[in-house]
C-alpha cells in the first residue's frame, strides 16, 4: 500500500516529522505522558529520583549521546551496561546488518545460538550448559524456577538492595525483624507469592548463619548480585562470600550469581572470576546473564551445571520457553560484542580508564572539601557522597542524596550523562578516551565548586 493512500488520522507526513524533529525534551515528555504511563517504558528513565525532564535521545556514537535538542552528552550509562564497546562499534554494526539480511526470527534453532552458548561456556567455567532468553528479568525468573524444580524446595534467600528483574517472587523487601518473610515492593504481588522469599541484609554474615540454621533444609537457592549494581556499587565482602558458598554447599542450596550487570562487564569471566581470584576454587552453581551479552539487543541467559540444566524442558520437568529466545539478530550482536571484548588487553585498558575516572572524581571531591568516595571493577563504577564506601542498601541510601541530585544536574548541564539515581552504578565503555575522562573530571570540578 502506498503511504498516501492510507487515511488514518494518525498518519504522520514527512513535514510533520520534520516539525517534530524540533520538539524539545519537555515537549516530547509531555507528548509521551499522554500515551505511555509516566512517559517512559522503564521507570528510572523518568528522572523521578533526581527531578527534572528526561532527555529524549535521538542518536548515539562511541561514548556520546545526542538528545532531541541536539545537545551532546558523554554517556556513563551505556544503556545501563550493555554498550561496553560504545555505541555503533563497526564490527558489531556489520554483524547485525548481515544477520538482519538473513532474517529477523525463525522460531527454529540456528547455529549462532550454539556459537553464543559455546562462547559463554568458554568464558565462564562454572557454566556447562546455558539457555538463551530475551531479558534479565526472564533469565532471573527462569533460574529461580529451575533452582526450585531441581531441588524440590520452595524457599530462597535474596538480599535487600539487589535487583533481579521484576518477577513477582523477587519484588520483595525485608520485613521487620531478623530473617522474617519479606513484603512485596509492588502492588499486584500477592503476599503468598513472596511467602517463600527470605530477604537478608547484604554483607551480614550473622544473618546468613541464623537464616541457614533455621531454614537450611528448605532452601532451594540463594540469589545474589556478587558486586551489587542496583545499590550503586557495593561488593560482597570476601568473608561474606566465603561463608555464603560454604552454607549453600552444606545445606544443598544452589548459589545463583545474578551477573546480568557484572557478567562480561567487571571482567571477561564476570564477577565470579574476580571472586575465584580471591577465594581458591570458588564458583557459583548457577549464573544469570544479560546486558553485555546482547550488546544492546534484547538477549539474556541463564546457565549452570549439566545436571541442573537438564531439569529444563524438553529434557526435564521444569518448563521454560520463548518465541524470540536466541533471536538471530540479537545473537549476532552479542557474539560480535563478546569477540571484541575477548581481545587481549581489552579489560586491562577498560579497567584503567574506569579507575582513572573514579580516582579523578575522588580527587575533585577532596579538593572541594566534599566527602566523596568511589570504587570500580572492570568497566563498572560507583561513587558516593559519603566518607566511607557503603556495605549494604541501608548504607547506600544513607549517603547524601541532596548533594548527589545537585551534582547530577550540574553534570548533565555540562554534557555528562550519569545514572539519574544515587542507587545506580555507572559504566565506562572502551570508546571513552583519556580526553573524555579528563573532560568529565573537569566538569565534576566545576560542578562541585558551585
Ligand X SMILES: *Cc1c(COP(=O)(O)O)cnc(C)c1O
Catalytic positions, written as ranges:
163, 258, 291
225 near ligand X, judged by CB under 6 A: yes
C-alpha cell at 138: 526472564
Instruction: Tell how strand 300-304 and strand 129-133 pair up.
Output: antiparallel
What 8-state DSSP symbol labels residue 373?
E
Choice between 263 and 390, CB closer to ligand X: 263
Per CB under 6 A, contacts with ligand X among 134-163 are: 135-137, 140, 163
Q: How many residues bind ligand X (CB under 6 A)?
A: 15
261 near ligand X, judged by CB under 6 A: yes
Choice between 290 and 379, CB closer to ligand X: 290
Binding segment for ligand X (CB under 6 A), chosen from 224-232, 266-274, 392-400, 409-417, is 224-232
Per CB under 6 A, contacts with ligand X among 285-304 are: 290, 300
260 near ligand X, judged by CB under 6 A: yes
The least distance separating ligand X from the CB of residue 225, rounded to whole angstroms, comes to 5
Is the CB of residue 292 less than 8 Å from the CB of residue 300?
A: no
Choice between 261 and 361, CB closer to ligand X: 261
Is the CB of residue 122 less than 8 Å from the CB of residue 130?
A: no
Choice between 142 and 151, CB closer to ligand X: 142
Is the CB of residue 247 less than 8 Å from the CB of residue 212?
A: yes
Distance of alpha carbon 84 from alpha carbon 440, whole angstroms: 18
258 near ligand X, judged by CB under 6 A: yes
CA dist 220 to 140, 159, 400, Å? 14, 15, 37
Q: Which residues contact 180 (CB under 8 A, 6 or more apart)?
A: 174
The least distance separating ligand X from the CB of residue 250, rounded to whole angstroms, comes to 26
DSSP letters for 398-418: TS-HHHHHHHHHHHHHTTEE-
The least distance separating ligand X from the CB of residue 257, rounded to whole angstroms, comes to 10
Instruction: Tell how strand 286-289 and strand 254-259 pair up.
Output: parallel
Task: Work out which of 161, 229, 284, 360 binds ligand X, going by CB under 6 A.
Answer: 229
**Taking the alpha carbons of 150, 236, 232, 184 in that order, is the dihedral positive or negative?**
positive
84 near ligand X, judged by CB under 6 A: no
164 near ligand X, judged by CB under 6 A: yes
The least distance separating ligand X from the CB of residue 135, rounded to whole angstroms, comes to 4
78 near ligand X, judged by CB under 6 A: no
Choice between 165 and 304, CB closer to ligand X: 165
334 near ligand X, judged by CB under 6 A: no
User: Three-state DSSP class for 312?
Assistant: strand
Choice between 254 and 443, CB closer to ligand X: 254
Distance of alpha carbon 441 from alpha carbon 344, whole angstroms: 28
Binding segment for ligand X (CB under 6 A), chosen from 6-14, 235-243, 253-261, 394-402, is 253-261
Distance of alpha carbon 128 from alpha carbon 398, whole angstroms: 40
Contacting positions for ligand X (CB under 6 A) = 135-137, 140, 163-165, 225, 229-230, 258, 260-261, 290, 300
Amino acid at each position: 500500500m502506498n503511504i498516501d493512500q492510507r487515511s488514518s488520522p494518525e498518519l504522520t507526513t514527512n513535514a510533520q516529522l520534520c516539525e517534530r524533529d524540533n520538539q524539545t525534551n519537555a515537549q516530547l515528555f509531555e507528548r509521551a505522558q499522554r500515551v505511555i504511563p509516566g512517559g517512559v517504558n522503564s521507570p528510572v528513565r523518568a528522572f523521578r529520583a533526581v527531578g527534572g525532564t528526561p532527555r529524549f535521545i535521538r542518536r548515539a556514537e562511541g561514548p556520546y549521546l545526542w538528545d532531541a535538542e541536539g545537545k551532546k552528552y558523554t554517556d556513563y550509562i551505556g544503556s545501563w551496561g550493555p554498550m561496553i564497546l560504545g555505541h555503533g562499534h563497526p564490527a558489531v554494526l556489520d554483524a547485525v546488518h548481515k544477520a538482519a539480511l538473513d532474517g529477523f526470527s525463525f522460531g527454529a534453532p540456528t547455529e549462532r545460538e550454539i556459537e553464543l552458548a559455546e562462547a559463554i561456556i568458554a568464558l565462564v567455567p562454572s557454566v556447562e550448559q546455558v539457555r538463551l532468553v530475551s531479558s534479565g528479568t526472564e533469565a532471573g525468573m527462569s533460574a529461580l524456577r529451575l533452582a526450585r524444580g531441581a531441588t524440590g524446595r520452595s524457599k530462597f534467600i535474596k538480599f535487600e538492595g539487589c535487583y533481579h528483574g521484576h518477577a513477582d517472587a523477587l519484588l520483595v523487601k525485608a520485613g521487620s525483624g531478623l530473617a522474617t518473610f519479606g513484603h512485596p515492593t509492588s502492588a499486584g504481588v500477592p503476599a503468598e507469592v513472596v511467602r517463600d522469599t527470605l530477604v537478608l541484609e547484604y554483607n551480614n554474615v550473622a544473618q546468613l548463619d541464623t537464616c541457614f540454621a533455621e531454614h537450611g533444609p528448605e532452601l532451594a537457592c540463594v540469589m545474589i548480585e556478587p558486586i551489587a549494581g542496583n545499590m550503586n556499587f557495593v561488593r560482597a565482602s570476601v568473608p561474606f562470600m566465603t561463608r555464603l558458598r560454604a552454607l549453600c554447599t552444606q545445606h544443598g542450596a544452589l548459589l545463583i550469581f545474578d551477573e546480568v550487570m557484572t557478567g562480561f562487564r567487571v571482567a571477561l569471566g564476570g564477577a565470579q572470576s574476580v571472586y575465584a581470584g580471591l577465594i581458591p576454587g570458588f564458583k557459583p552453581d548457577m549464573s544469570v546473564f544479560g546486558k553485555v551479552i546482547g550488546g544492546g539487543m534484547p538477549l539474556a541467559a541463564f546457565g549452570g551445571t549439566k545436571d541442573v540444566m537438564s531439569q529444563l524442558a524438553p529434557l526435564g520437568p521444569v518448563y521454560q520457553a520463548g518465541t524470540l529466545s536466541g533471536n538471530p539478530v540479537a545473537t549476532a550482536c552479542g557474539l560480535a560484542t563478546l569477540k571484541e571484548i575477548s581481545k587481549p588487553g581489552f579489560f586491562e585498558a577498560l579497567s584503567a580508564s574506569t579507575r582513572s575516572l573514579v580516582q579523578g572524581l575522588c580527587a575533585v571531591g577532596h579538593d572541594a572539601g566534599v566527602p566523596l568516595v568511589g570504587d570500580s571493577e572492570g568497566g563498572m563504577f560507583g561513587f558516593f557522597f559519603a566518607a566511607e564506601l557503603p556495605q549494604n542498601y541501608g548504607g547506600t541510601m544513607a549517603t547524601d542524596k541532596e548533594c548527589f541530585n545537585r551534582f547530577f544536574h550540574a553534570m548533565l548541564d555540562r554534557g555528562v550523562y550519569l545514572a539519574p539515581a544515587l542507587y545506580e552504578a555507572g559504566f565506562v565503555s572502551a570508546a571513552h578516551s583519556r580526553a573524555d575522562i579528563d573532560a568529565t573530571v573537569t566538569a565534576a570540578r566545576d560542578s562541585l565548586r558551585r
